[in-house]
Amino acid sequence: MGSKLYIKKGDMVKVIAGDSKGQEGKVLKVLVEDFKAIVEGINMVSKSTKPNAKNTKGGIVKKEAPIHISNLMVKDNTGQPARVGRKLDSKGKLVRYSKKSGEVIK
């Protein structure tokens, strides 16, 4: 798979498709090989756990499930969801930029 991902850990994203459509959150982890990302507070699932040292009671735990990258849109510095491009900056380094505002995404 030669395609480069445009989402990084720590990015603010908006969900554009699926059950969580319209919600926004911060990317906690990117699963590169699966083309998925785990976003804070989005795509919550109930998972039953056995009792262990950390959780002596066990029971049902709510946690974030991965969501496909194609269903996410990066928010630029202005807070608006925007398509992401890549270009060389003045120092010759490849940076991501918002195709809407033209600003470099930090």
Query: How confident is the model over 18-37, as pLDDT tens digits?
Result: 999 999 999 999 999 999 99
CA distance 20 to 14: 9
Are 78 and 97 within 8 A, CB to CB?
no
pLDDT band at 102 (very low <50, low <70, confident <90, very high): confident
Please state the rounded mean pLDDT for residues 4-11. 90
Query: What's the pTM?
Result: 0.81
- The two structure tokens encoding residue 45: 């699932």
Domain architecture of the chain: domains with CATH: 1-75 (2.30.30.30), 76-106 (no CATH)
Taking Cα atoms as reference points, which of 14, 45, 16, 17 lies closest to residue 27? 14
Taking Cα atoms as reference points, which of 18, 16, 19, 43 lies closest to residue 29? 43
